[in-house]
Structure 1
Amino acid sequence: MAYPLLTNCPVCSKQLKITKLQCKHCHTTVENEFELSKFAALGQEQLHFIEVFLKCRGSIKEVEKELGISYPTVRGKLDDIITALGYSPAKKPEVDKKKIVSMLEKGEITAEEAITLLKEGEA
């Protein structure tokens, strides 16, 4: 039975290093210090979100539908993952107020989502 890869020490919570790899077929063992991918530091929920995001080909609208969450929540989750990977989220683009109002009129977003989007432009 295989267990999920541990990335942090269960005693002190510091990052673990991989020091041993073994072939499941021939049992060849390689020992050294190996680096983890940046993605190994992400939680299961974040990895699931990335999987859905990729499956939806980056369409925030499709991610909203698939996960049943709002546009601002999708954006927030993306920003959290970008930060966890060691990058700074991109500067927030200038808010297109007319587009937000149009989306609201078409029923694509709720009034609460529109307010959130408009407030993002003020920050």
Structure 2
Amino acid sequence: MSEEGRHTHATAHRAPSTCPVCDSSLQLTRLGCPGCGTEIAGIFEQCRFCALSSDDLETLTVFLASRGNLREVEKHLGVSYPTARQRFGQLLDRLGLGTEQTAPAVDRDQVLADVASGQITPAEAQRLLGGG
């Protein structure tokens, strides 16, 4: 690899998904080749995963690596199973893949136990239980 190519990869940053001035969604309008300098301009479709936060990407990676095992996501997040399901549901919603019919049932006793043990905050418990 050329010195220029190595430099490009070393300084690569994650592209923002929203405008820092007005918070509108940004459009991908230019692509460039670090090898030969070719540039292509237009309006290109964004990757739906590129707008996810680093935490969401890590959670999704754990889910995929564990072949869909939410118990592994639970361990990774350090939360109860209902909380892991709820957070994964929110991740699916951010990807446009969630549906109201598949919203996970929340075990009230488990949520209260999670608050008592300090695994979740009272505000998060209230949200899980539909109060906020």
TM-score of the aligned structures, taking structure 2 as reference length:
0.66
* 1:11 matches 2:11: no
Question: In structure 2, how many angstroms separate the alpha carbons of the residues matched to 1:2 and 1:73?
Answer: 34
Name the residue aligned to 1:85.
Answer: 95
Question: In structure 1, how many angstroms separate the alpha carbons of the residues matched to 2:104 and 2:41?
Answer: 51
Once the two structures are superposed, what CA deviation does each residue of 1:39-68 show, in whole Å capped at 9, x if it has no partner?
Answer: 222222111110111111111112222332
Distance 1:34 1:92, change over 3 A: closer
Question: In structure 1, how many angstroms separate the alpha carbons of the residues matched to 2:103 and 2:20?
Answer: 41
The one-letter amino acid of 1:45's match is D
Name the residue aligned to 2:113.
Answer: 112
> Per-residue deviation at 1:12?
0.3
Give the RMSD, CA atoms, in angstroms: 2.8
The one-letter amino acid of 2:73's match is V
Name the residue aligned to 2:58.
Answer: 48
> Per-residue deviation at 1:93?
8.2
Fraction of identical pairs, as percent: 34
Show structure 2 runs of 5+ residues with no match.
Answer: 1-10, 115-124
Question: In structure 1, how many angstroms separate the alpha carbons of the residues matched to 2:40 and 2:31?
Answer: 5
CA contact (8 A) 2:19 2:25 kept: yes
